[in-house]
């Protein structure tokens, strides 16, 4: 039985996006984010700039797309939490796969360099924070129903967890002595949200 044409096209589209993102990541790490152009990425992929732009509207979207998997994992984890679980426990559990995803990478130093690129490039940081803010709203919506939680405290609690995550990423990216993103995040969230 053959796959429907739509599903095959989706797989091809994802494969091309992944190829562009892998190539861009390799070039960003070798040359630096600012020194790498869309033309460089297109040439390395063997495609036109127009094709690259069809998949990614801007250069910063390419690097930020690397974190889309993490957001999908975060949302999937929140959805899987047991009903009635305290919000803080759900948030701690939701971020654990994200930090492990980074810690388990065989090329952790490349991951650290990508994080450094995001935190040292204002355009990238802006897009990344926007991306996380959208995820933050989705997480708050998932945690709101059920049970209904205070409309002021819930978004503030979710925002605090996201702030811990961003802070942990920045600290981990610039501190080679930081053994793992998980340990930095756990320390931050313990201090900010407590038990």
What are the pLDDT tens digits along the chain (195 aa)?
555 667 888 888 889 998 999 899 889 888 888 899 999 999 999 999 999 999 999 988 888 887 776 788 899 999 999 988 888 899 999 999 989 888 888 888 888 888 888 898 888 899 889 989 999 999 999 887 655 567 788 899 999 999 999 999 999 998 877 779 999 999 999 999 886
- pTM for the whole thing? 0.82
C-beta atoms surrounding 13 within 10 Å: 12
Peptide bond into 81 cis (omega under 30): no
End-to-end CA distance of the chain: 52
Going from the C-alpha of 119 to that of each of 113, 114, 122, 191, the distances in angstroms are 10, 9, 7, 23
C-beta atoms surrounding 140 within 10 Å: 20
Q: What is the pLDDT of residue 24?
A: 92
Q: What is the pLDDT of residue 50?
A: 94
Sign of CA dihedral 147, 148, 153, 156: positive
**Could you give the CA distance from residue 159 to residue 115 in angstroms, rounded to a whole number?**
20
What would the two tokens of residue 95 be?
């971020």
Q: What is the pLDDT of residue 111?
A: 84
- Contact present, 182 and 99 (Cβ < 8 Å): yes
Pick the CATH number of 5-59 from 4.10.110.10, 2.40.37.10, 1.10.3720.10, 1.10.10.60: 1.10.10.60
Going from the C-alpha of 11 to that of each of 4, 75, 121, 135, the distances in angstroms are 11, 22, 31, 24
Pick the CATH number of 67-193 from 3.40.630.30, 2.40.50.1070, 1.10.357.10, 3.30.2020.30: 1.10.357.10
Domain limits, the chain: 5-59, 67-193
């Amino acid at each position: 039985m053959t796959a429907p044409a739509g599903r095959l096209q989706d797989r091809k589209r994802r494969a091309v996006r992944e190829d562009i993102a892998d190539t861009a990541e390799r070039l960003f790490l070798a040359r630096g984010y600012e020194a790498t152009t869309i033309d460089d990425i297109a040439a390395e992929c063997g495609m036109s700039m127009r094709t690259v732009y069809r998949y990614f509207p801007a250069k910063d979207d390419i690097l930020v797309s690397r974190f889309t998997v993490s957001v999908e994992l975060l949302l999937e984890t929140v959805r899987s939490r047991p009903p009635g679980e305290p919000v803080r426990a759900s948030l701690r559990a939701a971020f654990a796969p994200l930090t492990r995803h980074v810690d388990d990478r065989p090329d952790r130093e490349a991951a650290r360099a990508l994080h450094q690129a995001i935190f040292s490039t204002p355009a990238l940081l802006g897009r990344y924070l926007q991306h996380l803010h959208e995820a933050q709203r989705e997480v708050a919506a998932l945690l709101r129903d059920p049970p209904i939680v205070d409309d002021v405290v819930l978004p503030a609690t979710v925002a605090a967890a996201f702030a811990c995550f961003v802070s942990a990423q920045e600290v981990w990216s610039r501190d080679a002595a930081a053994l793992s993103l998980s340990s930095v995040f756990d320390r931050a969230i313990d201090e900010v949200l407590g038990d």
